[in-house]
Amino acid sequence: MHLAYPAVLSALLFCTGLYGVLARRNAILVLMSVELMLNAVNLNLVAFDVWLSKAARDTLHSGQALTLFTIAIAAAEIGIGLAIVLAVYRNRGTSDIDKLRDSAEGHESDGPDSNALAAEETGKAEAAA
Amino acid sequence: MTLIAATATAAHATAAQATAAHTAATTAAGGTHGFLSPTGVEIAFLLVGLATFGAALVTVSTRQLVHAALWLVVALGGLAIEYLLLTAEFIAWVQVLIYVGSVVVLLLFGLMLTRAPIGRSPDADSGNRWAALTVAVAAAAALVWVVVDAFRTTWIDLGGPAAGSTAVTGASLFQNWVLPFEALSVLLLAALVGAIVLSRKAKAEMSSPPVNSRAATGSSPSVPDSRNHPIEGNSPAEQEGAR
């Protein structure tokens, strides 16, 4: 198989996920787009691992091992991300990312506000990662 | 006529030489590769890839939130078939188990718990979607151009024993990757405890503000056994902080 097929498909899927992360407004849809980007990376890892293991340059199967690690980390990420989104939804009543920025002003400045702010920042950092 | 034949022979020789330089294992089949003469596996990969890419496009562009999660199932299942076509069987089944089996179910639960609207929601896309489209198309063009230009003369040899069977993957995982594997289990434990702590803190603070009735009924059975979690919850958090 020509190596360009999986590589091109992986690039296209990654850019689809990139569009979703940038354009979506619901936090759960952003998490779905992050999953698409992670899967694009996984496809790249698997394709290059199959190529390099047959070309006898790599006997560690590092690509497939790293794919398994990426899948596990993505599962952990989706669990934590959904917990954060649900906590934000309980405190704010919305999971709209564009509306979450007004919690930075801190009108009431009580416990749930600061917690929601911290959760929002964590979610943004995780989505960026 | 002879000039054309000589040119073709020279081009064939360079292609075969480049192929042999790249993939030493495919010396016998190196002369039969064509850049635009796909084999059956490549045609299958292309068709499944088109379906996967289309499902991914629908996932990021539909306005019905539940439909986005369901099209994500199609995209992830298509990727599992691509792994099978690349002879990575174990990864394919792990993909089906974890992504299609659990991640999409978690996403659907998240959509339900945040009371996502059934039907069209006109505010699914934010205002900067044209800027996002520009960035994505530019990135796609650059990546595809670079990748095609870099791997023009590279072929994967799919013959012989499977590169990703369960025996091979398990042997390499537990011979060479044991320490990252154990670290990964600690990470999963930390993520589990973290998810419990995050949702439990929200429940403890929900006693004073107006209570979401559906969340309160869902959370009531887990209140008694969540008393003993902070003691366990501290040590993985400290480990993660130390790392």
Indicate yes or no: pTM above 0.90.
no
CB B124 within 8 A of CB A29: yes
| Alpha-helix runs per DSSP H in A24-129 | 27-54, 62-92, 111-128
Domain boundaries, chain B: 177-243
- Residue B112, CA distances (Å) to A28, A95, B54 in order: 11, 12, 25
More confident residue, A105 or A72: A72
What pLDDT sits at residue B233?
A: 38
pLDDT, one tens digit per residue, over A60-75 is 888 899 999 999 999 9
Q: Which residues of A touch B53 (CB under 8 A)?
A: 9, 12-13, 16
DSSP state of B117: P
Who among A6, A32, A59 is closest to B68 (CB)?
A32
- CA of B77: how far to CAs of A18, A108, B95, B104, in Å? 20, 46, 8, 11
Given pLDDT bands bounded at 50, 70 and 90, which one contains residue B33?
A: low
Amino acid at B125: D
Tell me which residue in A25, A33, A91 faces B202 most closely, judged by beta carbons. A91
Does position B31 have pLDDT exceeding 60, yes or no?
no
CA B102 vs. chain centroid, Å, equals 13
Q: What is the DSSP letter of B38?
A: -
Amino acid (1-letter code) at residue B70: L
So what's the pLDDT on residue A2? 87
How close B1 comes to chain A (CA, Å)? 30
Mean pLDDT along residues A78-92: 89
**The residue count for chain B:** 243
Q: Which of residues 58-87 of B touch A (CB under 8 A)?
A: 59-60, 65, 68-69, 72, 75-76, 79, 82-83, 85-87
User: Mean pLDDT throughout B18-24?
Assistant: 42
What's the sign of the alpha-carbon dihedral B182, B183, B189, B191? negative
Tens-digit pLDDT profile for residues B112-130: 888 777 777 777 777 788 9
| pLDDT, average across residues B175-194 | 92
Q: Is the pLDDT of residue A33 over 80?
A: yes
Q: Which of the 8 DSSP states describes residue B224?
A: G
Please tell me the predicted confidence (pLDDT) of residue B94. Answer: 93
Among residues A1, A23, A103, the alpha carbon closest in space to that of B156 is found at A1
Per-residue burial over A109-120, b = 16 or more CB atoms within 10 Å of its CB, e = otherwise: eeebbebbbebb
Which ipTM score applies to this complex? 0.78
DSSP sequence for B164-193: T-HHHHHHHHHHH-HHHHHHHHHHHHHHHH
Domain containing residue A41: CATH number = 1.10.287.3510
pLDDT at A110 over 90: no
Q: How many domains does chain A have?
A: 1
Of residues B134 and B159, more confidence is placed in B134
Phi/psi of residue B28, each to 5°?
-70, -40
Mark yes or no for CB contact A23/B75 under 8 Å. Answer: no
Distance CA A67, CA A42 (A): 5
How far from each other are the two terminal CA atoms of chain B, in whole angstroms?
69
Indicate yes or no: CB of A16 within 8 angstroms of CB of B173: no
Residue in chain A lying closest to B26 (CA): A55
Kindly state the percentage of chain B with pLDDT values over 90: 39
Q: Which domain holds residue A65?
A: 4-128
CB proximity B19 to A under 8 Å? no
